[in-house]
Amino acid sequence: MAEMIRRLGLDIGERRIGLALSESGILASPHGVLHRKSKKQDFARLQQLILELKVDHLVIGIPYSLNSDDPLGPQARRVLRYAEALCHTLQIPCHYHDERYSTVDAQQYLADAGRKKVPIDAAAAAVILQSYLDSLR
């Protein structure tokens, strides 16, 4: 039997970080939202969460641009700088994944499923993590 790898997915926004968890490596579920404070506080809270959840890998959504000449627009650059700084402080592997349309997909999923109480940021993180998991197969 293959070893289970627990993955935490992040949808990094200006004010909030959406969180999703995969315990099986097959299915991602919304886990919650972290309200951003300072980078130092955010990193400490994420490190604590990683320890509590026994996470083995981090998957971070990067909002690449649709512009083929420059797929790293201003927002993608900000998220990438934040993600690289975060990953530098962690002891687990970090993976970046294209998050284009994740919020739109999350809104559609929540509407279809009638899950109005799930925060959109957590649902978007689950979409990102699920897309990453699907790409591994």
- Here the CATH number for the domain that contains residue 47 is 3.30.420.140
The string of pLDDT tens digits covering residues 58-116 is: 999 999 877 767 778 889 999 999 999 999 999 999 999 998 867 777 777 777 777 66
Q: Are residues 16 and 33 in contact, defined by beta-carbon separation less than 8 angstroms?
A: yes
Q: What is the mean pLDDT of the chain?
A: 90
Per-residue pLDDT band at 52 (split at 50, 70, 90): very high
Count up the domains in the chain and report the number. 1
Of 72 and 10, the one with more pLDDT: 10
Residue 27 lies in a domain: yes
Residue 94 lies in a domain: yes
Residue 1 lies in a domain: no
H helix or E strand, kind and range, residue 82? helix 74-89
Q: What is the pLDDT, as a whole number, of residue 1?
A: 44
Helix (H, G, I), strand (E, B) or coil at 63: coil
- Average pLDDT on 117-128 reads 90
How many helices (DSSP H) and strands (DSSP E) are in the chain?
4, 5
pTM: 0.89
Residue 132 lies in a domain: yes
Q: What is the pLDDT, as a whole number, of residue 73?
A: 86
Q: CA-CA distance, 115 to 111, in Å (whole number)?
A: 7
Question: Is residue 38 scored above 60 in pLDDT?
Answer: yes
Residue 2 lies in a domain: no
Residue 113 lies in a domain: yes
Range of the domain at 26: 7-136
